[in-house]
């Protein structure tokens, strides 16, 4: 997702084979067709199995009917209103959980990425492996491990209880009683954990690109370390911040695994609703409408965010 | 900041002030915070590892009871577990092959050629990565339902290739675009045919990007749950098995397999690192 900084970037989108690149000079027709042949199979795959399904789903969302009689397109847009009216708490909750998890990922992930990029020295590869290593155990197993870590009689809950942290969090409404499991805190903790590497890796990529001489220059100009960070390092790492927050927020907003395994019925997110409507209730129009609303909300937020942060060359 | 770092290892004997501890803490605050995050990332893996030696009382392996190596001695002792694992490996392998071939072709087209509808293609590549999995999963399942296609191995494979493709394109494209085009021109100046140039110059330079894309595809496919859950029908992949067991009771064997995968992968990476280091050193001397 990180932009490729390159000098050989092919320029204008629809321009004809340019005369300024010597390699492509005077292209015969057969050669001009090469890119289309290269694109054909993959793009066809995406069109048939990614784009077409979205169209199908759009039509499903305005259908009515039942499993026995079959569904028909009746332009029944009310499904959207009904779905929103019934499941808006789950929508709000998804966005809130994903938002908090993204912020936590940034706060936790930045020092780690910074550590790998500037401080790890010859340990860099080892730390890097440790960041990627958790991926090698299936994430469902690792999420289940949180059930053990946060278990009611476990050491974590014990320590939090004796420090009266859980009293504070209960007062804030993110935990209930003297437990962590089956509370918003557990779900957010799981989400943060699961998507943290997606924050660390792009951050690292953009931090690593920063010329260390810029830090020295800032120091030579009497900038304090905190000033150097604020004025030099952080702005230069913005592409990583943007990519990382997107890579964290988008999957977190649609996730239903953490809410299912670590939460209770009060922590259900929109993904849980879509999943149960589709796979258990078999109410396809509602599931389709819900996932369309989710998609629209996320795409709108992503577009706005990318435009605001001014890094449009993410792809 | 980088200047200060050179003194990091030598524990700064100059600092003999009373608030030495505080100073040390301030200087290493970022490092400590980073290490704490690393601990947060690694902790569940350690728990999985430790609990692979557990002998739980009930059906769930959430509480520590007794030390035992039973599960390690009989990793396939649970019905369907190893079958699902084999299926997942098979799926990941084919999904990797499919996505890598298709994705590399697209990446070369994007990095090397000018053509119409370029921005359209870019959007089509970007969208699957910017879409919550559950949306893609539900819509693809809707397509299969409408077409009357039987859910199973093939529908999962189709889905996996679909969502891995974009990641391969991104990885390979970045690599190909940062390649110096003069290398290929030099090859052609030295009378290499286009095919020779591609096989001897372009492909070796692009190889790390392709490898990264392939590895990512394998990992994504092997570990995918959400999209598989919607498009699997009654087929059970390894993540599906784990999900099911979270409801029915988690056998210790799950932890064994998780731990084994973790160890094998880490060993492979370390071996690769060592080999790479040795090659670098022998090149230098």
Q: How far apart are CA B241 and CA B81, in angstroms?
A: 7
| Among candidate residues B130, B110, B215, the one with its CA nearest the CA of residue A242 | B130
pLDDT of residue A8: 42
Q: How far is B224 from chain A (nearest CA, A)?
A: 9
Q: Do B45 and A145 touch (CB under 8 A)?
A: yes
| Domain count along chain A | 1
A179 confidence band (pLDDT: 50, 70, 90): confident
pLDDT of residue B115: 86
What residue in A sits closest to B156 (Cα-Cα)?
A: A49
Q: Do B138 and A291 touch (CB under 8 A)?
A: yes
**Residue among A52, A132, A251 minimizing CB distance to B143:** A52
Average pLDDT in the B102-127 region? Answer: 91
Task: Please tell me if residue A288 touches chain B, with a CB cutoff of 8 Å.
Answer: yes
Length of chain A: 315
Tens of pLDDT, residue by residue over A67-100, are: 777 777 788 888 899 999 999 999 999 999 999 9
Task: Please tell me if residue B212 touches chain A, with a CB cutoff of 8 Å.
Answer: no
Output the CA–CA distances (angstroms, integers) from residue B80 to B70, B85, B86, B240, B241, in the order listed. 18, 9, 10, 11, 8
Structure tokens at B121: 């293609």
Q: What is the CATH number of the domain that holds A181?
A: 1.10.3720.10
Is A306 inside a domain boundary? no
pLDDT of residue B33: 94
CA atoms in the 13 A half-sphere facing the CB of A254: 29
Span of A27-31, B46-50, B171-175 with lowest mean pLDDT: A27-31
Q: Are B112 and A32 in contact (CB under 8 A)?
A: no
Tens of pLDDT, residue by residue over B186-218, are: 988 999 888 888 899 889 999 999 999 999 999
Which is more confidently placed, B266 or A41?
A: A41
Q: How far apart are CA B167 and CA A258, in angstroms?
A: 24
Report A:65-104 residues touching B (Cβ under 8 A).
Answer: none
Q: How far apart are CA A43 and CA A37, in angstroms?
A: 10
Q: Do A271 and B226 touch (CB under 8 A)?
A: yes
Beta-bridge partner residues of A176 = A179
pLDDT of residue B17: 57
Residue A107: which domain range?
92-267
Question: Angle at which helices B29-50 and B252-284 pack, to 10 degrees?
Answer: 130
Mutation target for B interface from A46, A268, A273: give the one with most B CBs within 10 A.
A46
Q: Give percent of chain B with pLDDT exceeding 70.
A: 93
Q: Give percent of chain B with pLDDT exceeding 90.
A: 53
Report A:170-229 residues touching B (Cβ under 8 A).
Answer: 193, 196-197, 200, 212, 215-216, 219, 225, 228-229
Q: Do A4 and B173 touch (CB under 8 A)?
A: yes
Average pLDDT in the B159-177 region? Answer: 94
pLDDT of residue A112: 95
pLDDT of residue B28: 87
Average pLDDT in the A111-127 region? Answer: 89
Inform me whether the pLDDT recorded for B168 exceeds 90. yes
Q: How far is A171 from chain B (nearest CA, A)?
A: 25
Q: Do B30 and A115 touch (CB under 8 A)?
A: yes
Inform me whether the pLDDT recorded for A66 exceeds 60. yes
Please report where in the chains the tokens 């409404």 appear, as a residue. A173
pTM above 0.90, yes or no: no
Inform me whether the pLDDT recorded for A6 exceeds 80. no
Q: Where are the domains of chain B?
A: 2-73, 81-250
Is A185 inside a domain boundary? yes
Is A45 inside a domain boundary? no
Q: What is the mean pLDDT of chain A?
A: 85
Is A39 inside a domain boundary? no
Task: Please tell me if residue B194 touches chain A, with a CB cutoff of 8 Å.
Answer: no
Report B:120-159 residues touching A (Cβ under 8 A).
Answer: 121-136, 138-143, 145-146, 158-159
What residue in A sits closest to B118 (Cα-Cα)?
A: A13
Q: How far is A216 from chain B (nearest CA, A)?
A: 7
pLDDT of residue A307: 83
**Residue among A14, A131, A284 minimizing CB distance to B116:** A14
pLDDT of residue B211: 93
Q: What is the mean pLDDT of chain B?
A: 88
Which is more confidently placed, A112 or A12?
A: A112
Q: Say which CATH topology domain B81-250 has.
A: MetI-like fold (1.10.3720)
Q: Are B227 and B159 in contact (CB under 8 A)?
A: yes
ipTM over 0.90: no
pLDDT of residue A16: 44
Long-range contacts of A208-213, Cβ-Cβ distance < 8 Å, separation of 24 or more? A208/A116, A208/A117, A209/A5, A209/A236, A210/A117, A210/A236, A210/A237, A212/A118, A212/B2
Tens of pLDDT, residue by residue over A280-293, are: 988 899 999 999 99
**Residue among A143, A246, A251 minimizing CB distance to B133:** A251
Is A85 inside a domain boundary? no
- With vertex at residue A180, the alpha carbon angle to CA A145 and CA A291, rounded to the nearest 5 degrees, is 75
pLDDT of residue A171: 85
pLDDT of residue A15: 42
pLDDT of residue A4: 40
Inform me whether the pLDDT recorded for A10 exceeds 70. no
B84 confidence band (pLDDT: 50, 70, 90): very high
Q: Give percent of chain A with pLDDT exceeding 70.
A: 90
pLDDT of residue B108: 92
* 3-class SS letters over A9-78: CCCCCCCCCCCCCHHHCCCCHHHHCHHHHHHHHHHHHHHHHHHHHHHHHHHHHCEEEECCCEEEECCCCH
In angstroms, the first-to-last Cα distance of chain B is 33
pLDDT of residue A43: 95
Average pLDDT in the B249-271 region? Answer: 89
- Burial of residue A76, with CB atoms counted within 10 A of its CB: 0-12 exposed, 13-18 middle, 19 or more buried: middle
Q: How far apart are CA A231 and CA A229, in angstroms?
A: 6
Span of A181-185, A288-292, B74-78, B274-278 with lowest mean pLDDT: B274-278
Output the CA–CA distances (angstroms, integers) from residue B29 to A108, A182, B34, B270, in the order listed. 13, 33, 8, 29
Phi-psi label, residue B80: left if phi above 0, alpha if psi -120 to 50, beta otherwise:
left
């Amino acid at each position: 997702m990180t932009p490729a900084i390159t000098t050989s970037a092919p320029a204008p989108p629809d321009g004809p084979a340019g005369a300024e690149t010597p390699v492509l000079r005077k292209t015969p027709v057969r050669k001009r067709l090469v890119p289309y042949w290269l694109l054909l199979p993959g793009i066809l795959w995406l069109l048939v199995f990614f784009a077409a399904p979205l169209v199908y789903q759009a039509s499903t969302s305005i259908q009515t009917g039942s499993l026995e009689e079959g569904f028909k397109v009746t332009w029944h847009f009310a499904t959207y209103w009904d779905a929103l009216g019934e499941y808006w708490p789950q929508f709000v909750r998804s966005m809130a959980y994903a938002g908090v998890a993204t912020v936590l990922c940034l706060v936790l992930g930045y020092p780690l990425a910074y550590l790998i990029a500037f401080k790890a020295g010859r340990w860099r590869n080892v730390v890097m492996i440790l960041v990627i290593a958790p991926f090698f155990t299936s994430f469902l197993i690792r999420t289940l491990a949180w059930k053990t870590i946060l278990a009611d009689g476990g050491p974590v809950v014990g320590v939090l209880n004796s420090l009266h942290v859980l009293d504070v969090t209960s007062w804030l409404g993110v935990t209930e009683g003297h437990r962590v499991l089956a509370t918003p805190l557990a779900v957010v903790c799981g989400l943060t954990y699961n998507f943290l590497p997606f924050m660390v890796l792009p951050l690292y990529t953009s931090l690593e690109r920063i010329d260390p001489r810029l830090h020295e220059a800032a120091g030579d100009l009497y900038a304090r370390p905190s000033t150097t960070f604020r004025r030099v390092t952080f702005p230069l790492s913005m592409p990583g911040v943007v990519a990382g927050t997107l890579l964290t927020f988008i999957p977190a907003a649609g996730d239903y695994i953490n809410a299912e395994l670590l939460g209770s019925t009060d922590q259900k997110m929109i993904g849980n609703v879509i999943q149960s409507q589709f796979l258990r209730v078999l109410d396809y129009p509602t599931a389709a409408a819900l996932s369309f609303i989710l998609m629209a909300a996320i795409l709108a937020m992503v577009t706005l965010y990318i435009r605001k942060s001014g890094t449009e060359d993410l792809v | 900041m980088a200047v200060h770092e050179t003194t990091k290892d030598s524990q700064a004997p100059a600092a003999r002030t009373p608030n030495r501890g505080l100073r040390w803490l301030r200087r290493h605050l970022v490092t400590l915070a980073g290490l704490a995050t690393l601990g947060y990332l690694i902790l569940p893996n350690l728990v999985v590892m430790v609990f692979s030696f557990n002998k739980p009382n009930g059906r769930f392996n959430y509480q520590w009871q007794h030390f035992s190596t039973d599960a390690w001695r009989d990793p396939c002792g649970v019905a369907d577990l190893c079958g699902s694992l084999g299926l997942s490996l098979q799926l990941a392998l084919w999904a990797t092959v499919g996505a890598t071939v298709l994705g590399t072709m697209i990446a070369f087209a994007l990095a090397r050629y000018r053509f119409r509808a370029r921005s359209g293609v870019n959007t089509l590549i970007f969208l699957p990565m910017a879409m919550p999995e559950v949306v893609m999963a539900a819509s693809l399942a809707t397509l299969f339902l409408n077409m009357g296609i039987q859910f199973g191995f093939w529908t999962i494979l189709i889905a996996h290739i679909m969502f891995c493709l974009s990641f391969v394109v991104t990885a390979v494209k970045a690599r190909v675009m940062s390649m110096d085009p003069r290398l290929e021109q030099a090859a052609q100046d030295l009378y290499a045919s286009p095919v020779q140039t591609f096989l001897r110059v372009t492909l070796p330079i692009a190889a790390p990007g392709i490898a990264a894309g392939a590895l990512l595809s394998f990992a994504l496919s092997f570990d995918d749950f959400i999209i598989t859950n919607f498009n699997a029908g009654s087929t059970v992949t390894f993540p599906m098995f784990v999900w099911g067991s979270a409801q029915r009771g988690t056998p210790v064997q799950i932890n064994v397999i998780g731990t084994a995968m973790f160890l094998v992968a880490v060993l492979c990476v370390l071996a690769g690192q060592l080999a790479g280091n040795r090659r670098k050193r022998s090149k230098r001397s």
